[in-house]
Amino acid sequence: MKLDTQTIHALADRLENCQLQQQDTTKITDDHPDMDWDDAYAIQDEIRRRKVARGLRVIGLKSGLTSHAKMKQMGVNSPVFGFMTDDYAVPDGGECKVSELIHPKVEPEIAFVTKTELRGPGCHIGTVLAATDFVLPGIEVIDSRYRDFKFDLKSVVADNTSAARFVVGGQPMNVSDCDLRTVGVVMEKNGVPVAFGAGAAVLGHPAAAIAALANHLGARGECIPAGTLILSGGITEAVAVQAGDNITLRVQGMGSTSIRFV
């Protein structure tokens, strides 16, 4: 760790206030170029602690920057991990108010729900599939608190990996009934298909993104509990949205889920 507790609290405060007041900011590594990974996750943990202290519940976890398309779009080269609280959940087909966000974008993802605990190190696709209850379509709404979505990895980790809203729905599927590498996804904006891909875009297999999360948590003495919802990461580039847009994600064999921006 390079930052003291006071600085970590101040940075958590700055980033969470940006989220609560729909204001953007410059990336925090501009002011703290020496901060390390532990500092970045400590700032994210402090944001999480503040939300939980205000009565919010952590209802899911996420892996991000897990596809080449996303890494290229954001100019970074490794996955990051974050959390979602209950106020981020939008019902299937429900509304998302853009006035509560800064500059939202949507990502087509495959969501996993676990039935047994996953504890790293050493988790791999096999352990993840064995621990998965079902998978289903998920749209993540990301909303970086950084101006123009310009950040580096440590800054985006501190900002809880741009997490803002998400919707899951459609037809849950057993992992033994599909090949998650070849499963096709189509994301439509106002009825027009705008992003296409297959599961293998995410680290070769979406379950690898869950294994990476379990191994990351394992290194910190934490685990993924049974019954956890996890977003495995955008399969394609993120797509900007504005009020009036209607987004639908169709995943092969798993139906569709949608969200309306108002």
Binding site for ligand OOG (CB under 6 A): 64-66, 70, 74, 107, 140, 142, 144, 149, 156, 161-162, 233-234, 238
Residues 146-175 binding Mg ion (CB under 5 A) are none
Residue 240 CB, nearest distance to ligand OOG (Å)?
12
Tokens found for residue 118:
């996953």
Residue 133 CB, nearest distance to ligand OOG (Å)?
21
Tokens found for residue 243:
């009020």
- The rounded distance, in Å, linking the Cα atoms of 123 and 133 is 16
In the three-class reduction of DSSP (H, G, I as helix; E, B as strand; rest coil), residue 143 is classed as: coil
| CA nearest neighbour of 180 among 139, 233, 129, 120 | 129
Residue 257 CB, nearest distance to ligand OOG (Å)?
15
Nearer Cβ to ligand OOG, position 120 or 234? 234
140 binds Mg ion per the rule CB under 5 A: yes
Q: Which does 249 bind (CB under 5 to 8 A by kind): Mg ion, ligand OOG, none?
A: none
Q: Which does 61 bind (CB under 5 to 8 A by kind): Mg ion, ligand OOG, none?
A: none
Burial zone of 200 (CB within 10 Å; 0-12 exposed, 13-18 middle, 19+ buried): middle
- The rounded distance, in Å, linking the Cα atoms of 135 and 116 is 14
The helix or strand, by DSSP H or E, that contains position 213, with its residue range, turns out to be helix 206-218
Residue nearest to ligand OOG as judged by C-beta position: 64
**Identity of the amino acid at 114:** T
Greatest Cα pair distance, the chain, in angstroms, is: 50
Strand runs (DSSP E) across the chain, as ranges? 58-64, 80-85, 95-96, 105-114, 132-142, 163-168, 184-189, 192-198, 229-231, 239-240, 246-251, 256-261
- The rounded distance, in Å, linking the Cα atoms of 138 and 169 is 7
Residue 137 CB, nearest distance to ligand OOG (Å)?
14
Residue nearest to Mg ion as judged by C-beta position: 140
Nearer Cβ to Mg ion, position 10 or 239? 239
Residue 206 CB, nearest distance to Mg ion (Å)?
12
234 binds Mg ion per the rule CB under 5 A: yes
245 binds Mg ion per the rule CB under 5 A: no
Residues 46-75 binding Mg ion (CB under 5 A) are 64
Cβ density class 160-198: b for 16+ within 10 Å, e for less: bbbbbbbbbbbeebebeebebbebebbbbbeeeeebebb
Q: Which does 144 bind (CB under 5 to 8 A by kind): Mg ion, ligand OOG, none?
A: ligand OOG
Which residue in 39, 107, 159, 245 binds Mg ion (CB under 5 A)?
107
Q: Which does 160 bind (CB under 5 to 8 A by kind): ligand OOG, Mg ion, none?
A: none
Residue 202 CB, nearest distance to Mg ion (Å)?
10
Contact residues toward Mg ion (CB under 5 A) are 64, 107, 140, 234
